[in-house]
Amino acid sequence: MALTVLMLTPGYPGEMPLFARGLSMQGASVLGVANGPSHELPSLTRRHLAGYLQVGDLFTDTASAITQIQRWLGGRTVDRVCCLWEPGIELAAQIREALGVPGQSFAQAQRFRNKDLMKQALAAGGVRVPRHQVASTASEIWAAAEAIGYPLIIKPIAGAGSVDTFRCDEAADVARALTQLGHVPEMNVEEFIEGEEFTYDTICARGDIKYFHIGVYRPRPLIARTNEWISPQTLSYRHVDDPWVAGGRAMGEQVLKVLEYDTGFSHMEWYRKADGEVIFGEIGARPPGARTVDLMNFASDVDLFTGWAEAETQGTFSLDIERKYHCASISKRAHGHGRLTRIEGLDGLRQRCGDAICTVDLLPIGSPRRDWKTSLLSDGYVTLRHPDWQTTLQMADAVGTDLQLFAE
């Protein structure tokens, strides 16, 4: 008998239609819920939904949203509730509890969204986390800075990625950060970890890790988010048994166990210091963004959108994972402001990299630039793959330097 899956925001962000398709391909009847009208859904999403409900106050009035969903469902039974977008993780848990659907509880979801609760639970479980304090006023931020010491990071308790995140090396940096944080109600002030930054991403089913992935950021996201000239790279590392990443992999397994993660995608960020010490960063009960799942697929020639759906609906994972390639995604930011006027260097890159290039997705000429501070993919991106790590890095760097976009 086909399962009925309620999926929040099946059309946004950009990868969500592929997850909706995955559920449908696994035989599920997919019911979509979002705050926009159905005609705004991507066509791929619409093709794979069995029903859709628009809830205008989905993210502003939880009680009202749940009432509308219950009324819409009538006597229909829901087997799973899915949300793969960070802002909806707690809402999905509340809907599960209201409908009596198994899956991540609200209390569990809070430990994946609230960075203070998250780090408290992990520290109690023996995981090395940065020293941190919660602050909701300027005076509390100053007090936390004095207690933790410099350098430090100030970031939202329930944030995603590096948005509204500030590195502070001295008091003057804290003062500058405070001028930009008036819209954030609660902050986490924590020790800044100097080191390389990685990810540990998984698909779990019934408490078992069915698939895992190691990612590498070049440079660290905080640096990329504060320097417009940089072409940020996210890389998929093929040699997952390498000592370079072994500590982070072991930590990831420990983190999921402590947080009692059961079923779904997870995305963890971690640090490796020069002396080899590994330190937890943060974790989300969702897949990585910025089309990183595409990198995982390119690395093994698989479809993890459908693989996740199998784990979610059936508790199994039948994909055969052979790690064939290192992969890289390089985001590009145009020079200038306004609309894109020209692209230079693409033909030369195609000649140099050949079939190592998997995707070229750049804004069309005439398109307005995106906000590079809020868009992870900026004004477009290139993905590529190669079995050799150094060759992959060299090609990724060539995309960064040789491919140039211009706007005016």
Show the tokens assigned to 307: 């693989």
Residues 146, 240, single domain; the answer is no
Domain co-membership, 212 together with 233: yes
Query: What pLDDT, in 10s, does the model give residues 78-136?
Result: 999 999 999 999 999 999 999 999 999 999 999 999 988 999 999 999 999 998 888 88
pLDDT tens by residue, 20-29: 999 999 999 9
- Expressed in angstroms, the distance from the first to the final Cα of the chain is 56
* Domain C-terminal end among 191, 219, 242: 191
Residue 159 is predicted with a pLDDT of 57
Q: Are residues 186 and 200 in the same domain?
A: no
* Claim to verify: residue 301 and residue 350 sit in the same structural domain: yes
One domain for residues 174 and 258? no
Q: What is the structure's pLDDT at 295?
A: 98
Q: Is residue 117 in a domain?
A: no
Looking at residue 158, what is its pLDDT?
64
Q: What is the dihedral of CA 62, 63, 65, 69, to 10 degrees?
A: 130
So what's the pLDDT on residue 162?
A: 55
Lowest pLDDT segment from 66-70, 159-163, 171-175 = 159-163
Beta strands in 118-207, from DSSP E residues, in sequence order: 132-135, 152-156, 166-168, 187-191, 196-205
On whether both 385 and 339 belong to a single domain, the answer is yes
Domain at 75, CATH number = 3.40.50.20
pLDDT at position 209 is: 98
pLDDT tens sequence across 214-233: 999 999 988 998 899 999 99
Only one residue has tokens 């198994």, namely: 102
234 with 363, same domain: the answer is yes
Report the mean per-residue pLDDT for the chain: 94
pLDDT value of position 375? 84
In a domain, 206, yes or no: yes
CATH classification of the domain holding 157 = 3.30.1490.20
Based on the domain organization, do 27 and 72 belong to the same domain? Answer: yes
Residues 335-352 have pLDDT tens digits of 999 999 999 999 999 999
- Does 325 have pLDDT greater than 80? yes
Contact in structure between 187 and 130 (CB atoms under 8 Å): no
- Give the mean pLDDT of 196-219: 97
Kindly state whether residue 23 falls inside one of the protein's structural domains. Answer: yes
Same domain, 274 and 292: yes
Q: For the residues 252-264, what does the mean pLDDT come to?
A: 97
**Distance separating alpha carbons of residues 88 and 94, to the nearest angstrom:** 10
| Whether the model pTM is above 0.85 | yes
State how many domains the chain has.
3
Shared domain check, 202 and 168: no
* Residue with token string 């640090």: 271
The answer to whether residue 161 scores a pLDDT higher than 80 is: no
Q: What tokens does 232 get?
A: 């940020």
Kindly state whether residues 163 and 202 are assigned to the same domain.
Answer: no
Q: For residue 113, is it within any domain?
A: no
Decide if 222 contacts 162 (C-beta within 8 A): yes
Query: Which stretch of 216-225, 307-316, 362-371 has the lowest confidence by average pLDDT?
Result: 216-225
Q: Is the pLDDT assigned to residue 273 strictly greater than 90?
A: yes
Distance, CA of 407 to CA of 374 (rounded, Å):
18
Task: Please tell me whether residues 186 and 304 are part of one structural domain.
Answer: no
Is 216 inside a domain boundary? yes
Domain that holds residue 250: 196-407
- 389: domain CATH number? 3.30.470.20
Out of 174, 191, 208, pick the residue that ends a domain.
191
Give me the percent of the chain exceeding a pLDDT of 90.
83
* Residue 111, in any domain of the structure: no
Among 142, 168, 191, give the residue marking a domain's end: 191
What is the pLDDT, as a whole number, of residue 307? 98
How confident is the model over 357-369, as a mean pLDDT?
A: 97
Domain assignment present for residue 185? The answer is yes
